[in-house]
């Protein structure tokens, strides 16, 4: 009965989605000169409430920018682009049709084969997108079926009261009470559905390899703790299933503010409120009323500082996003000279990841320091991951986690579907990232001498 009701809700709300994106298009603009780049950045900064930038403006001439444009703004933007001598390519001609067709397909499959998207682990379909409830069930099932190596934890609750669950993987051969650790979080941006799907997919593959005594994975799990939270923005993610497939932010709403939602990836405490963030609640990059105003982000900071206080060092922090296939290192808050002291090692690690991906699927992932390849964005997770832990670790409003290897990884694709990546690309995505995570494991083991 519960399932039938859920289908009904999804079907009825699919019509809502249908209404919302009628006539919307995604345009690709490729600036060739510094002046054109600066102009696009100006539009991004000042008209961010009218145009939804699906990708950030790159500082590198020739790199494209994708913008979703509502119908009544298309003539206006066309004129502006003409004045700047900028051409446009239409990447998605009809956002509404794409959203509606995909949702219809997903609902149809769920109706036809309830088992394939069931919550039992043996039936879990890694090549399908899952609701938030199913992802939480997966976390619980993985933990109970692998209780020798997986310890679940409740990270906390979302703004609307949903549980945010994750788990820690630690091999049975682990000797150290506080091994070095890796933090992986998915789904901080609600519409980036490939992120939780990828995190679940590669985690499943690693567990299978551990069970078949794969030498590298045995050493990875025995010498390093792997903390995994597949879906960090439950309210936003739920909303993408029920109301608005392209919702990005959280679902918090503050007194006196016109719009709902804060960008959780501008809400981290390190350098909160700086360049590349917005004080306006209707912006897609609204930084929130204060650092850590978003309980989902607060939960992570509190959890990680607790682990640190217990004696655990984080070597790596990755926030999995989509799209554009790029591995982005700190700093993102600094407008000039954004390379960190660990830049070369960070790029060597990123190169190992991208080589592994290329060898697996022939997909190309770029890399660089945040504000060197994109315009700055303060208060992001990758800067928090890298910034040093403050003298007082209980001061959540400053510093970070001191993880040498901290990244934002933008997964597939490069814009053909953008956030609307079809389900038939899920497996290829988690396969290539699985190879990247093995490469990470290999390098980290060498680095800690294990």
Q: How far is the CB of 419 from Zn ion (least distance, A)?
A: 9
- Which residue lies nearer to Zn ion by CB, 171 or 196? 196
Answer whether 191's CB lies under 8 Å from 132's CB. Answer: no
Asked whether position 170 contacts Zn ion by CB under 5 A, the answer is: no
Give me the catalytic one of 209, 410, 423, 447: 410
Q: Is residue 54 within 8 Å of residue 418, measured between CB atoms?
A: yes
What would the two tokens of residue 323 be?
């799209």
**Min. distance of Cβ 330 from Zn ion in angstroms?**
16
Q: Which two tokens stand for residue 390?
A: 């403050």
Helices and strands per DSSP (H, E), number in the chain: 13, 12
Nearer to Zn ion by C-beta: 249 or 321? Answer: 321
Q: Which is nearer to Zn ion, 171 or 230 (CB)?
A: 230
340-346: long-range pairs with CB below 8 Å, 24+: 340/369, 340/386, 342/386, 342/404, 342/405, 343/369, 345/404, 345/405, 346/404, 346/405, 346/407
351's enclosing H/E stretch is helix 343-361
Supply 125's token pair: 């379909």
Active site (annotated) includes residue 423: no
- CB 268, min distance to Zn ion, A: 13
- Which residue in this structure is represented by tokens 């794409």? 98
* Shortest distance (Å) from residue 248 CB to Zn ion: 7
Smallest distance from the beta carbon of 301 to Zn ion, in angstroms? 18
Instruction: Tell me which DSSP letter residue 403 carries.
Output: -
If the CB atoms of residues 92 and 444 are measured against Zn ion, the closer one turns out to be 92
Contact 21, 95 (CB under 8 A): yes
The residue (of 205 and 321) whose beta carbon lies closer to Zn ion is 321
| Nearer to Zn ion (CB atom), residue 287 or residue 321 | 321
Question: What string marks each residue from 308 to 347 as x (binds Zn ion by CB under 5 A) or -?
Answer: -------------x--------------------------
Q: What DSSP element (H or E) covers 317?
A: strand 314-322
Positions in 346-375 near Zn ion (CB under 5 A): none
Two structure tokens written together for 266: 């501008």
Alpha-carbon distance values, 237 to 12, 38, 160, 249 (Å):
18, 33, 12, 9
φ and ψ at residue 152, rounded to 5 degrees = -75, 155
**Residues 173-202 close enough to bind Zn ion by CB under 5 A:** 189
Q: Based on CB atoms, which residue is closest to Zn ion, 100 or 240? A: 240
Would you say the C-alpha torsion 307, 309, 315, 316 has a positive or negative sign?
A: positive
Q: What is the SS3 assignment for 31?
A: coil
Report residue 124 as tokens: 């879990």
Residue with tokens 């919302």: 20
Q: How far is the CB of 321 from Zn ion (least distance, A)?
A: 3
Distance CA 64, CA 57 (A): 8
Complex with Zn ion: residue 189 or 438, whichever CB lies closer = 189
DSSP state for residue 140 in the 8-state scheme? H
# residues near Zn ion by CB under 5 A: 2
Residue numbers at the binding site for Zn ion (CB under 5 A): 189, 321
Active-site positions read 410
């Amino acid at each position: 009965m519960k399932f039938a009701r859920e289908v009904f809700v999804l079907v009825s709300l699919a019509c809502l989605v249908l209404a919302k994106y009628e006539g919307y298009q995604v345009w690709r603009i490729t600036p060739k000169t510094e002046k054109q780049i600066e102009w696009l950045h100006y539009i991004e900064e000042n008209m961010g409430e009218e145009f939804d930038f699906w990708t950030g403006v790159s500082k590198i001439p020739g790199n494209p920018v994708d913008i979703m444009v509502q119908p009544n703004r298309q003539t206006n933007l066309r004129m502006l682009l003409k004045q700047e001598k900028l051409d446009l390519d239409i990447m998605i001609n009809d956002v509404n049709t794409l959203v509606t067709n995909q949702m219809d397909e997903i609902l149809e499959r769920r109706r036809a084969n309830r088992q394939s998207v069931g919550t039992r682990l043996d039936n879990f379909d890694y090549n399908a997108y899952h609701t938030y409830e199913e992802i939480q069930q997966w976390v619980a099932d993985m933990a109970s079926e692998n209780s020798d190596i997986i310890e679940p934890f409740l990270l906390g609750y979302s703004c609307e009261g949903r549980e945010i669950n994750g788990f820690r993987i630690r091999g049975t051969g682990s000797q150290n009470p506080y091994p070095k650790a890796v933090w992986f979080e998915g789904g901080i941006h609600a519409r980036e559905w490939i992120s939780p799907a990828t995190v679940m997919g590669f985690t499943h593959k690693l567990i299978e390899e551990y069970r078949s005594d794969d030498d590298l994975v045995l050493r990875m799990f025995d010498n390093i703790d792997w903390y995994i939270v597949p879906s960090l923005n439950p309210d936003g993610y739920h909303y993408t299933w029920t109301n608005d497939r392209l919702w990005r932010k959280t679902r918090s709403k503050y007194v006196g503010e016109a719009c709902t939602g804060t960008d959780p990836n501008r809400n981290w405490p390190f350098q909160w409120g700086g360049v590349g963030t917005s004080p306006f609640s209707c912006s897609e990059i609204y930084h929130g009323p204060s650092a850590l105003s978003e309980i989902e982000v607060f939960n992570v900071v509190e959890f990680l500082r607790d682990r640190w206080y217990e004696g655990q060092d984080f070597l790596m922090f990755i926030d999995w996003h989509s799209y554009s296939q790029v591995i982005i290192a700190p700093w993102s808050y600094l407008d000039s000279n954004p390379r960190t002291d660990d830049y070369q090692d960070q790029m060597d690690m990123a190169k190992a990841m991208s080589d592994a991906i290329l060898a697996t699927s022939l997909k190309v992932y770029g890399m660089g320091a945040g504000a060197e390849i994109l315009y700055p964005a303060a208060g992001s997770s990758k800067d928090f991951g890298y910034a040093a832990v403050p003298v007082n670790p209980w001061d959540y409003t400053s510093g970070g986690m001191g993880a040498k290897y901290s990244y934002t990884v933008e997964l597939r694709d490069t814009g053909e579907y953008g956030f609307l990546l079809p389900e038939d690309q899920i497996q290829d995505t988690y396969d290539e990232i699985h190879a990247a995570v093995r490469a990470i494991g290999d390098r980290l083991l060498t680095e800690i001498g294990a």
